[in-house]
Amino acid sequence: MTRISRLIKIVYILSKYRLDVYFDFNLLPRPLRWLFLLAPWRIFPTSDQPRAVRLRLALEELGPVFIKFGQMLSTRRDLLPDDIADELQRLQDQVPPFSGEKATQIIEKALGQSVEALFSEFDAKPLASASVAQVHSAVMHNGDQVVVKVIRPGIHRTIRNDLDLLFSLAQVMEKYSEDGRRLRPIQVVSDYERTIFNELDLLIEAGNTSQLRRNFQDSNLIYLPQVYWDYSRKNVLVMERIHGIPVADIAALRAQNTDMKKLAERGVEIFFTQVFRDSFFHADMHPGNIFVSTEIPAEPQYIAIDCGIVGSLTHADKNYLARILLAFFKRDYRQIATLHIESGWVPEDTPVAEFETSIRSVCEPIFEKPLKDISFGQILLRLFQTARQFNMEIQPQLVLLQKTLLNIEGLGRQIYPELDLWHTAKPFMEDWMKQRSGPPGLLKAMREQGPEWLEQTSEVPHLILDAVQQIKRFKDFNEQQRQTLKLLTNEIIRGRKNQQRTWLGITSIALALFAATNNSPLFQQVPTASWIAGLIGLYLLVGRG
């Protein structure tokens, strides 16, 4: 499909669902305004369905790229109205598969061998099909059961064309719609572009999976499948096939007597471990990517797949985030405001008292609820929405964090409705803060950064030598500076002396006049004293310089 025909289709679908109501055409130049008002799509009646439903239906009809864009957009609750965000969460990425024959050709071209040489068994019928890839089951020659993920043919070109059109729509929306400017559509599309092209590189997903697997290698909390690196390329990924119960299948989990309370609490522990211990977290933990092992129901273990999207936080971000959450539950709103400014998330000239008042007005109603009903995700959302009123810049790492926390939290309460997230998370965060600021944290820093410090100490003699050379190079300049400084010092001393002579002269003349006019006993005994004082005063005044 050419770009022109694709554009025509997009315009048709947007018109069909009357999404033109999102634009204020009065902002357009007069000729364009009449063009839009008389456009063919005006023949479509305005639907009685809510705007959010119309938007979702339009994105579904536009296809995979727009569906994934809607899914990503649903996470931006800091920008979207609640009705649209809620509706976009319902988007289902159900895409017809491409042929097994084509998948086989892609695999053989990428790996340079036939599927018979690569696998003892290969099922050409896909296990699952998504917007950018589909998955086939296979068996290695050593008997290992694996899945083979294959990028859709031609998807790069489709995505590139659709992204170009999305950027064009975003520019129009930002230029001619007041709501559009508030939503920052160009920046949103840019974020989406970066995310979706990362998902198209399966080696990135493989690397993320391996890192998460290594982080939890000795843990019974979560399991990540093994990557077969020798059989993986940018468009083909071979991984261990996992077996488990989908985490959203509550009936099946209960049927095997899974400890639901422990399962929910372990989900929270996994999230905070990834964020605060590892600074590397799976940022796409929706129910379709999470399973539960069937091996030990009393000690349930999660299984995670599809690690194409991950997030990370700097040490500073982790520290600020933990302190903000702890301050929130202490209702220390001044501390929350100060931390936002110190972190650089809001401008440093933000009025702290005004910011504190806004945070208090938003957060205080939350404490009317039982502690177990307070949502961490909603806390972050409210804080970020409030901060945006004070020109908080978009922090991509915090958006991913908020999205992931909302997913984990919703999943946890679906598994175990009585989950007390704060009771589960508070000890972890408090312990982490102690570990970070106490002797263990210092020892860890020395262990991790010690080699770098030692390496830098070997450079010290060279730095000193360089400093000496710089001093020599500027010796003449420094000598000139010293001479200038000496002259300035002499002038200052001279000025001070003149100032002292002036005040002494004025004082002497004043004393002489006072004595002469008030018949002072001292000056009556020594008549010439008043004349002498006056003459000294005149000398001091006239003789300055």
Beta bridge partners of 311: 281
Q: What is the CA radius of gyration of the chain?
A: 36
User: Contact 276/178 with Cβ under 8 angstroms?
Assistant: no
Q: Is 435 exposed, middle or buried (0-12, 13-18, 19+ CB in 10 A)?
A: middle
In sequence order, what DSSP letters do the residues of 385-435 get, joined into one string?
HHHHTTTPPP-HHHHHHHHHHHHHHHHHHHH-TT--HHHHHHHHHHHHHHH
N residues, the chain? 545
Burial zone of 68 (CB within 10 Å; 0-12 exposed, 13-18 middle, 19+ buried): buried
Q: Which of 494, 491, 472 is nearest to 483 (CA)?
A: 491
In the 3-class helix/strand/coil scheme, how is 430-474 assigned residue by residue? HHHHHHHHCHHHHHHHHHHHHHHHHHHHCCHHHHHHHHHHHHHHC
What is the rounded distance in angstroms from the CA atom of residue 467 to the CA atom of residue 446? 28
Token pair in block for residue 373: 């009903």
Cα gap 451→166, rounded to integer Å: 48
Do the bridges between strand 302-304 and strand 222-223 make them parallel or antiparallel, or are there none, so unpaired?
parallel
Residues forming beta bridges with residue 222, ordered by sequence position:
302
Give the number of other CB atoms < 10 A from CB of residue 252. Answer: 14
Residue 147 dihedral angles phi and psi, to the nearest 5°: -120, 145
Q: What is the DSSP string of 167-187?
A: HHHHHHHHHH-HHHHHH-HHH
Q: Which residue has the tokens 């679906």?
A: 414
Largest CA distance in the chain: 132
Q: CA–CA separation, 464 vs 6, rounded Å?
A: 65
Calculate the CA 411 to chain-centre distance. 22
d(CA 379, CA 328): 9
In whole angstroms, how far apart are CA 284 and each of 74, 146, 164, 208, 288? 13, 22, 25, 12, 9
Alpha carbon dihedral 460, 465, 466, 472, in 10-degree steps, equals: 150
284 is catalytic: yes
H/E stretch holding 320: helix 315-329
Q: Which of 162, 284, 306, 317 is catalytic?
A: 284
Residues known to be catalytic? 284
